[in-house]
Amino acid sequence: MRYVQLRAFHHVAICGGFSRAAERLRVTQPAISDQVRRLEEEYDVLLFDRQRRQIRLTNMGERLLEVTRRLFDTEQQALELLSESLALRSGHLRVVADAAHHLLGVLAAFRERYPGVRVTISAGNTESVVANLRSYDADIGVLGEVPEGRDFEVVELNSTPIIAFAAKKHPAATRSSLSFSELLDFRLVLREKGSKTRNKLEEGAALAGVSLPPSIVAEGREAVREIVASGAGIGFVSRAEFGDDPRLVAIAIEGPVMLMDEAMICLKERAGSKLVRAFLDIALGNQRQRP
């Protein structure tokens, strides 16, 4: 088994094909195919199912990919260690977040300190955030529900109450607060089932002896925001995610306080990466400065 064979296998697996792997590694497709074939022949295993012009990992291929992900991530960390100043000048940090609002302060400070680093932010729910971190497709995750286990390093970002909000011309917009029973007088716009915001809201309402039937169910925060801005009803969001929208008015909810937590996480085995560590340290610094 040679390094070039494992590298060829790894890139075919993560790129989803021999041609794309060859482009990534800047070699010819026959060279990639030959390295993978030699690896399979040497150990008498089948790593890819090559039927119908598509390739899929076999069970053995999936098991080997778990190993090579760690191998090449460790190699990247070694490279970053040996070229620390270069990594912090021109590296690439990948972030996946359930809501980018929580990152704004950290991101601004990071960009000011490391202007040459490229940062990409993609959206995802709790499940996809964790999956992207575990598959090494992201370096940092931001989510509201920290997964169980000891695999992750965690930095708390904020904890803010759930509030109601309405369009400025909505009848409820003149109210500074509403009780759960008073909310029943209006049409309610709720997130999809499974949303943490909706779950917490319904739990709080249940404690107050109220059930909140939605008039409209929308998937995602932005969809709820636009529907509410049109005047179609009252929506709900954490205070940190309400933002500054001149079309909308925030309304406090009377009764049990419903807090939404948000945290930044990364795999512990990747916390030593220079870029990851720099980003986490800025988040930790912001956390200490909070009253």
pLDDT at 86: 63
pLDDT for the residue 266: 92
The tens-digit pLDDT sequence of the chain (291 residues) is 788 999 999 999 999 889 989 998 989 999 999 999 999 999 999 999 887 677 889 999 999 999 999 898 888 777 766 766 666 777 889 999 887 777 888 999 999 999 989 999 998 877 888 888 988 889 999 987 777 777 899 888 878 899 999 999 999 999 999 999 999 999 999 998 878 889 899 999 999 999 999 999 998 888 999 999 999 999 999 888 888 899 999 999 998 889 888 889 999 888 888 889 999 999 888 766 655
From the number of C-beta atoms within 10 Å of its C-beta (0-12, 13-18, 19+), residue 221 rates as: buried
Q: Do domains 82-157+261-289 and 158-260 have the same CATH topology?
A: yes
CATH number of 158-260: 3.40.190.290
Look up the CATH number of domain 3-68: 1.10.10.10
Protein fold of 82-157+261-289? D-Maltodextrin-Binding Protein; domain 2 (3.40.190)
What is the rounded distance in angstroms from the CA atom of residue 118 to the CA atom of residue 90?
7
Listed by start position, the domains of the chain span 3-68, 82-157+261-289, 158-260
> In the prediction, which pLDDT does 158 show?
79
Tell me the CA distances in angstroms from 196 to 149, 162, 208, 243, one per residue in order.
20, 11, 19, 18
User: Would you state the pLDDT for residue 47?
Assistant: 94
For residue 244, the model assigns a pLDDT of: 85
pLDDT at 285: 82
Q: If we measure between CA atoms, which residue out of 159, 131, 130 comes closest to residue 142? A: 130
Alpha-carbon span 21 to 13, nearest angstrom: 8
pTM of the complete model beyond 0.95: no
Both tokens of 205, joined, read: 């309402």
